[in-house]
Amino acid sequence: MTGVLSRAVGAAAAGALLAASFPPVGLWWSAILALALLVVVLSPLRGVAPRPRTGALLGLIAGLVFFLLLVPWVGLYVGAYAAWALALVEALYLAAFGAGAVVILREGLAAGRRHGLRVVGAALGVAGWWSVWEWIRSSWPWGGFPWGRLAFGQADGPLLPLASLGGTPLLGFAVAATGTALGLVVLLLIRRHRPPRVPLRSAGGLLMVPLVTAGLAAAAALDTTSRETGETADIAVIQGNVPRLGLDFNAQRRAVLENHLRVTAELADDVEAGTAVRPDVVLWPENASDISPLADRQAGAQISALSRRLDAPILVGTVLRVGDGPEATNSYLVWDDRSPEPAADPVVDRHDKKYIQPFGEWLPLRAPLEAMFPIARTAGHFVPGDGDGVVTAAGIDFGVAICFEIAFDAAAREPVARGAQILTVPTNNATFGRSPMSYQQLAMSRVRAVEHHVPVLVAATSGVSAVIGPDGQVLQETGIFEPATLSAQVESDSAGTMATRLGGIPQMVSCLIGLVSLGWALIRTRQRPATEYEET
């Protein structure tokens, strides 16, 4: 019992270390230590190997601590139970990881007594098994929840350039493999004087894992820095702010629109006075005009007037009703009304959010949940769009990933693969207050910039808005809950990397490594006499 308790404490510590790799702490290396510690508690120690059910319990504990520390903002205005429920559901995926990882690690260490390189295979297998469950929880159910993937904690880490080779799947796999290798090296050193022991030469093989990943990251970094600068465009990002914090800011739709009109008008004043550069395109955030400018003549006329003053299209985040029912789309409109006479239809392009979030933008099992939880009635009735994620404004192709869409690989990759030159992230974080959510989303946007070598422009209603270079560096950034304008000259024709071209292949390969490793370990475990370790 004491052994299980000490393992449980170690698992909880691993979850806390993993959370520390993300904002607000942002220590990229703590993710590697987290995986190393998790591997140690899931491995045979002092001749005692945990059973798969014990591994599941340890994974569950690590997952609960991780997600409770990562996403407490989910329950900021709806109640702490929302964060607890989400953390519990997400922790179940780590429980499944733990159950399989103990099998891979036990077999790898046992086989390593005779074949040292089997331990290296176990390290890669555990990393692949981690990738399997990251992919599953990012996809299922109801579209999944990719928040907290290992890659998103590496915006300031030296392995970040790997994202340009194989996307976030490769980056996450590399972090998991490095941490697993480190944990196994620690185990080898602990067990060097105890039978059954693995040859110490295996430690040298394990140390090749971080060396290889570091070498690949360095090569990827050199490849991106050698690119020539392409054409540029002048872009203005508007952060109009909201009248108050909390879920009820939407009741102030007119005030939110007026805020964005006012800040944009101030930019127009500066342009006309010669103190600001005239932008080629103006970006507004998600929900900047939840009063539909297509249905409300006043809103449409006000936006058109600013488009003419600036002689630039304005990309407007709005909500558009679908038919006569409650359904709506979360939309981003290219509003271009630069002609002297008002256009009959100033909307020249449009993106409807494709990856809508369950329990926020739509509600699975709506009837029973509304009956049990009155707060569930505040969930939206949004329906997903089916576009390609690319809109064209002033001759520039923009990729659009609205708010949580930036967490989904395809939402960032597909627009760039289809010709987008700049990636935009219009977002509304007012419902999450001053929590770390905005900074976690900013870190994701930085990873996406490197993944596809594309400038990323984050336009937020209340912050954080930012201009991010193709190298992932934040060039400009606003504060939270303050009106602001960011004016930037950004590259507009050099987007795309190997990761863009490979698409989902790195994800499939990393998952295949994990599944094959688990399958092999299960077969070998059945064939091996059960005399090497006690089980607990």
SS3 category, 520? helix
| Residue 126 confidence (pLDDT) | 98
The answer to whether 72 and 82 are in contact (CB under 8 A) is no
Least confident of 79-88, 92-101, 375-384, 488-497: 375-384
Q: How far apart are the first and last CA of the chain?
A: 8
Average the pLDDT over 440-450 and give the result: 98
- Residue 135 pLDDT more than 90? yes
Residue 244, Cβ neighbours under 10 Å: how many? 11
Residue 173 token pair: 């796999």
Q: Which residue has the higher pLDDT, 195 or 378?
A: 378
Find out whether 40 and 87 touch, Cβ atoms under 8 Å: no
pLDDT value at residue 247: 46
332: phi then psi, degrees, rounded to nearest 5: -125, 115
Residue 245 has pLDDT above 90, yes or no: no
Q: How confident is the model at residue 221 (pLDDT cuts 50, 70, 90)?
A: confident
pLDDT at 322: 94
- Specify the pLDDT at position 219: 85
231, amino acid identity: E
Helix (H) or strand (E) holding 427: strand 422-427
Q: What is the pLDDT of residues 292-316, one digit of tens each?
A: 999 999 999 999 999 999 999 999 9
Q: What pLDDT digit, counting tens, does each position of 20-36 carry? A: 999 999 999 999 999 99
| pLDDT for residue 46 is more than 70 | yes
Peptide bond into 285 cis (omega under 30): no
pLDDT tens digits, one per residue of 106-120: 998 887 555 567 889
How many Cβ atoms sit within 10 Å of the Cβ of residue 354?
22
Q: Evaluate if residue 493 carries a pLDDT over 80.
A: no
Mean pLDDT to the nearest integer, 480-494? 92
Query: What CA–CA distance (Å, rounded) separates 470 from 489?
Result: 13
Q: Mean pLDDT across the chain, nearest whole number?
A: 91
Q: Is the pLDDT of residue 390 over 70?
A: yes
Query: Using H for helix, E for strand and C for coil, what is the string for 438-485?
Result: HHHHHHHHHHHHHHHCCCEEEEECCCCCEEECCCCCEEEECCCCCCEE
Q: Read off the pLDDT of each residue in 392-412 and give the average, rounded to a whole number.
A: 97
Tell me the two tokens of residue 522: 């299960």
pLDDT confidence of residue 114? 58
DSSP percent split of the chain into helix, strand, coil, nearest 5: 55, 15, 35
| Cβ-contact 44, 109 below 8 angstroms | yes
Active site residues: 286, 353, 403
Q: Specify the pLDDT at position 368.
A: 85
3-state secondary structure of 37: helix
What is the spatial distance between Cα 237 and Cα 284, in angstroms, rounded to a whole number? 6
Asked whether the predicted pLDDT for residue 199 surpasses 90, the reply is no
Residues sharing a CB contact under 8 Å with residue 396, sequence separation 6 or more, in sequence order: 233, 280, 281, 421, 422, 492
Report the distance separating Cα 241 and Cα 490, nearest Å.
24
* 343 CB-contact burial (10 Å; exposed 0-12 / middle 13-18 / buried 19+): middle
3-state secondary structure 91-151: HHHHHHHHHHHHHHHHHHHHHCCCCCHHHHHHHHHHHHHHHHHHHHHCCCCCCCCCCCCHH
Q: What is the pLDDT of residues 247-275, one digit of tens each?
A: 454 458 889 999 999 999 999 999 999 99
Strand pairing category for 534-535 and 466-468: unpaired
Sign of CA dihedral 80, 85, 88, 93: negative
More confident residue, 61 or 201: 61
pLDDT band at 535 (very low <50, low <70, confident <90, very high): low
